[in-house]
Amino acid sequence: MLVFGSPKQLQLLFDSSTIFLDETFRTTPPFFDQAFTIHALKFDCAFPCVFALLPDRKKLIYQQLFQKLNAIAVSMGRTWKPEQIMSDFETSLIPAVSAEFHESAHKGCYFHFNQCMYRRIQLLGLATAYSQDESVRSCCRKLMALPLLPIQEVETSFYNLGATADPAVKKQLRDLFLYFDDYWINNIPIEMWNVHDYQHRTNNICEGIYIPSFTTLDENIYI
């Protein structure tokens, strides 16, 4: 593990009430699995404060990183207890954040939520139907919009959507509904992916640092 951050960057990080965790697995040097960055929110802008090269994406590695930074905070006479943390839904990162920041509100990025949903749509062989069938696409987008509802309405709205969907659409999307129920309703806490009335709904504010590296790697899917 290699961790980089100047004293001023660390001071900004430890003093920030909102932080963003971001990672990429595609632009890392040899012998490392990922580049992990931590950004602090100030003046409504996300400032990169810590750059870490991690050997894997296991819970223990994330915890070791957070513990190292917490020790540095103590040595600087500060307490690192952000009120809000936003990240993607990396399966090992979620329990690591919960273990090391149990007093912080951990929110999942809405963009990454929809990315997870669309990847599942593709995995289930529904990409063509999503693209060409308005009824299927509308139902999928209603699922994708559930994080925007008041949290007390999310679960009821999900089950109502399944109950009132067109029978043909419901049959076609059966496995998608089962996935949503199993993973997003019963596995990931709704509080984590619900972004209703939340100012920062995505961590896209901090992902620009990777854009120059990606321009030659990926086709622009938005064109």
Q: How high is the pLDDT of residue 215?
A: 38
- Identify whether residues 125 and 98 lie together within a single domain: no
**At which residue do the structure tokens 């920041």 appear?**
101
Residues 6+ apart with CB under 8 A from 39: 19, 20, 21, 22, 46, 47, 48, 49, 203, 205, 206
Q: What is the C-alpha to C-alpha distance for residues 169 and 141, in angstroms, rounded to an integer?
A: 13
Give a three-class secondary structure readout of 138-155. Answer: HHHHHHHHHHHCCHHHHH
Q: Give the CA count within 13 Å in the CB-facing half-sphere of 156.
A: 5
Show the domain range for 78.
2-109+202-214
Q: Sorting pLDDT into bands at 50, 70 and 90, what band is 221?
A: very low
The arithmetic mean of pLDDT across residues 124-128, rounded, is: 96
Q: How high is the pLDDT of residue 207?
A: 61
On the 0-12 / 13-18 / 19+ scale of CB atoms within 10 A, 186 is exposed
- Identify whether residues 149 and 41 lie together within a single domain: no
Structural contact between residues 170 and 178, judged by C-beta atoms closer than 8 angstroms: no
**At which residue do the structure tokens 């509904």 appear?**
177
- Identify whether residues 14 and 86 lie together within a single domain: yes
Tell me the pLDDT tens digit for each residue of 13-35.
Answer: 999 999 999 988 777 778 898 99
- 183 secondary structure, DSSP code: I
- Confidence (pTM): 0.84
Tell me the pLDDT tens digit for each residue of 70-93.
Answer: 999 999 999 999 999 999 999 999
Structural contact between residues 44 and 110, judged by C-beta atoms closer than 8 angstroms: no
- Identify whether residues 9 and 95 lie together within a single domain: yes
- Identify whether residues 56 and 84 lie together within a single domain: yes
Q: How high is the pLDDT of residue 180?
A: 97
Tell me the pLDDT tens digit for each residue of 156-177.
Answer: 999 999 999 999 999 999 999 9
- Identify whether residues 186 and 206 lie together within a single domain: no
Tell me which residue of 120, 83, 114, 89 sits closest to 188, measured CA to CA.
89
Q: How high is the pLDDT of residue 194?
A: 96
- 38 secondary structure, DSSP code: E
CA distances from 170 to 89, 173, 176 (A): 27, 5, 9
Structure-block tokens of residue 15: 């003093």
The pLDDT of residue 94 is above 60:
yes
Structural contact between residues 153 and 172, judged by C-beta atoms closer than 8 angstroms: no
- Identify whether residues 72 and 99 lie together within a single domain: yes
Say if 221 falls within a structural domain: no
Q: How high is the pLDDT of residue 140?
A: 96
Residues 6+ apart with CB under 8 A from 116: 89
Q: How high is the pLDDT of residue 208?
A: 54
The pLDDT of residue 8 is above 70:
yes
Tell me the pLDDT tens digit for each residue of 191-220.
Answer: 999 999 888 888 777 665 444 443 333 433
- Identify whether residues 82 and 183 lie together within a single domain: no
Share of the chain above pLDDT 90, in %: 79
